[in-house]
Structure 1
Amino acid sequence: MTFKLKSGAILGAFAALLMAGAASAAGKIAVITPYLAQPGTQFYVEAFQAEAKANGWEVNVIDTKGDVAAAISRIEDVSNQKVDAIVINVDPAQVAAGLETAKAANIPVFGMDAGVNPLLVTNVTSDGTAMAAETANFVIKRINAKGNVVMFVFDAFPPVQIRGAKADEIFKASPDIKILDRVTPDVADGGIADSRAKMEAILTANPDKGSIAAVWAAWDQPALGALQAIEAAGRQNEGIVITGIDANPQAREAVAKKTNFEATVAQDFKGIGKATADAVKSHLAGEKLAEVIYVPTKLITADNAND
């Protein structure tokens, strides 16, 4: 009798260990993004992969190279392959058909700097509204709330779209600030080259010193392209203030050197990748997650760019 009780206890403990192991080792995870050319995306995908490896997961990273429509078919493909979970870095509204396929297959989908959507378990991201407010207010202070501002935005991607919307709101509240142009660059190659070309055209159309007070960019690549255009035109001494968001290595270097690129915001890309992996693990273990999980950010200027 005693032996049977001990055996039952051992079997129960062994079953519990198996369940815990199943929760920690999800098996196959698909990560799907059209934006792997962006440094930020690369960083949090790499961080996710590192955490997944520690959890014993097999990760398949799928880059559709700027093709959002292709992301839908890839979500459908991996759903039919019965992966354990899907992580997306794309506007969920634009891939709804794929998400519906995942839902029908009972496969959980997680956003990694994607957007809020009822078809996602959660979205792990930075607070885009706060980042935009911080950089827009930095610009206003630096130009004494007066002058023409060029904005680089990307409304097709929710985390970036909300940055532009918040900056619009803040700039419009200053009566002496005028939005000279609101530019959406081609991001197929990362965004620097096309942003430079578009900024060159804006500089040509506004040749007078003081005609452009600042460039506000919703992420670093357009800010870097604008900096290249300003320097190539020999207008770096006009006091044109540039800000970005992401604090990628090139941006940090430009800020540290005290160029026109004066400020950016450091997202914790590794933190986003790790937090997304943690969210997958927690959900598969049966935990309830918030609709959005925010990872902290930090304003970067010449004072702390080398930290």
Structure 2
Amino acid sequence: MSTILKLSAAMAITLWAASPVVAKTVKIGWVQGNAAFQAEQRTEDGFKKYLADNKITDWEVTYLDSGGTAEKVANNIEDAVNRGVDVIYVTYADLRASSNALKGAKAAKIPVYSVDSGWIDGSTADITTNNWQMSAEVSLSLINKINGKGNLIIITTDKIKPVRERTDTLRAILKEYPDVKVIGEYNFNVANFYQETTNAVQDFATRFGDKIDAVWTPWDEPAQAAITALKGAGLHVPVSGMDGHPEAIQAICAKDSMFIATGRQLFEKWGADLASYAKRVKIDGEDPQAVTNGKNIVYYGATLFTQDNCK
């Protein structure tokens, strides 16, 4: 080999070795059950923090808000598949109308990781709280607050799997407390949960007045809506929620608060998990199911927070 060729080869090797590794741009299709949920915002915060901590700046994230409707969730999953994204996230959604859409994602070999939405065929894995555990602790706190007897209002929805689990847990507990009577129940539309909760509790307050001894709600924002309605009616009764948002913690610790208990969930951790899964699959080349150790559902515990924890 001539001196010139040797030099050229050496230069080429040097240049190749010195060239930066080009990171793959990961395209995420993020299907939100309802962008208005504070849980959505906190999960996104955890996702963004993971990217910042790992100096990831070039991922492309398309947010698709479903506005609280199952049909829109399915349409948005199909949209994400058609966009050719690398990974799909589905957060706080009702997946019961999404079977075909998820099968389409599976056929396209696009992993689908959901949060607090339940697992069905076509989904890779769901990250969620153990909602039975959380509801058991929160519900018992509310029942103990009224000494195991009195008239209860239930505010709920059957449109989200975790909420169905929380409500089913409450009903199971109530079987052991025959002196707690459910005098009113309202099943709200997720798309308009805050206003419908406010209206429902106002109606119950008008009908039952000071006969209401407690109000159970499925998460913190409906709890806050219920409290606003009760205050407007001049009533002061204990109310429970779940999620453990900062505003709820502050409300529970306020003097003479009606908000007596919530369950603190790990939303930011879940967002970081979503980012980690995408990185490990699309950058590091791991199997989509291996990143959850082969689990269809990844459970996290929730921490009960009551007025006792304010001390």
Q: Same fold (TM over 0.5)?
A: yes
Measure, in 2, the Cα distance between the counterparts of 1:147 and 1:40: 32
| Corresponding residue SS for 2:189 | coil
Matched, 1:296 2:298: no
User: How far 1:305 moved relative to its partner?
Assistant: 4.8
- What corresponds to 2:29 in structure 1? 30
Instruction: Name whichever of 278-287 and 128-137 sits farther off.
Output: 278-287
Gaps of 5+ in 2: 1-9
Measure, in 1, the Cα distance between the counterparts of 2:83 and 2:197: 39
- What corresponds to 2:235 in structure 1? 235
1:264-303 correspondence to structure 2 within 5 Å: 264-284=262-282, 285-286=286-287, 287=290, 288-303=293-308
Measure, in 1, the Cα distance between the counterparts of 2:51 and 2:81: 19
User: How far 1:91 moved relative to its partner?
Assistant: 2.3
AA of the residue aligned to 1:97: N
Q: Residue 171 of structure 1 contacts residue 177 of structure 1 at CA under 8 Å; is this kept in 2? A: yes
Structure 1 or 2, whichever has the larger Rg, is 2
Q: Residue 121 of structure 1 contacts residue 289 of structure 1 at CA under 8 Å; is this kept in 2? A: no
Matched, 1:176 2:174: no
Shift in alpha-carbon separation, 1:251–1:28, aligned structure 2, 3 A: same
- What corresponds to 2:134 in structure 1? 131
**Matched length:** 286
User: How far 1:186 moved relative to its partner?
Assistant: 3.4
Q: Residue 31 of structure 1 contacts residue 87 of structure 1 at CA under 8 Å; is this kept in 2? A: yes
Q: Residue 272 of structure 1 contacts residue 295 of structure 1 at CA under 8 Å; is this kept in 2? A: no
1:248-263 correspondence to structure 2 within 5 Å: 248-257=245-254, 258-263=256-261
Q: Residue 110 of structure 1 contacts residue 280 of structure 1 at CA under 8 Å; is this kept in 2? A: no
Q: Residue 33 of structure 2 contacts residue 94 of structure 2 at CA under 8 Å; is this kept in 1? A: no
Measure, in 2, the Cα distance between the counterparts of 1:278 and 1:182: 40
| Corresponding residue SS for 2:260 | strand
Measure, in 1, the Cα distance between the counterparts of 2:75 and 2:143: 44
| Corresponding residue SS for 2:307 | coil
Deviation track 1:68-106 (CA, whole Å, cap 9, x = no partner) reads 312222211221222111011212222112111111211
TM-score for both structures, normalised by structure 2: 0.84
Measure, in 2, the Cα distance between the counterparts of 1:81 and 1:230: 46
Instruction: Name whichever of 295-304 and 118-127 sits farther off.
Output: 295-304
Measure, in 2, the Cα distance between the counterparts of 1:305 and 1:76: 45
- What corresponds to 1:247 in structure 2? 244
Measure, in 2, the Cα distance between the counterparts of 1:113 and 1:30: 17
- What corresponds to 1:158 in structure 2? 161
TM-score for both structures, normalised by structure 1: 0.85
Q: Residue 102 of structure 2 contacts residue 121 of structure 2 at CA under 8 Å; is this kept in 1? A: no
| Corresponding residue SS for 2:182 | strand
1:185-196 correspondence to structure 2 within 5 Å: 185-189=188-192, 191-196=193-198
Measure, in 1, the Cα distance between the counterparts of 2:161 and 2:307: 29
Measure, in 2, the Cα distance between the counterparts of 1:131 and 1:193: 25
AA of the residue aligned to 2:309: N
Deviation track 1:252-292 (CA, whole Å, cap 9, x = no partner) reads 22211141111111111101111222233344512243111
Which one of the candidate residues 97, 100, 104 is aligned to 2:100?
A: 97
Q: Percent identity?
A: 29
AA of the residue aligned to 2:61: V
Q: Residue 267 of structure 1 contacts residue 296 of structure 1 at CA under 8 Å; is this kept in 2? A: yes
Q: Residue 26 of structure 1 contacts residue 281 of structure 1 at CA under 8 Å; is this kept in 2? A: no
Measure, in 2, the Cα distance between the counterparts of 1:173 and 1:279: 42
User: How far 1:26 moved relative to its partner?
Assistant: 6.4
| Corresponding residue SS for 2:28 | strand
1:63-74 correspondence to structure 2 within 5 Å: 63-74=65-76
- What corresponds to 2:207 in structure 1? 205
- What corresponds to 2:41 in structure 1? 42
Q: Residue 52 of structure 1 contacts residue 58 of structure 1 at CA under 8 Å; is this kept in 2? A: no
- What corresponds to 1:86 in structure 2? 88
Measure, in 1, the Cα distance between the counterparts of 2:184 and 2:122: 35
Q: Residue 279 of structure 1 contacts residue 289 of structure 1 at CA under 8 Å; is this kept in 2? A: no
Measure, in 1, the Cα distance between the counterparts of 2:225 and 2:310: 19
User: How far 1:34 moved relative to its partner?
Assistant: 2.8
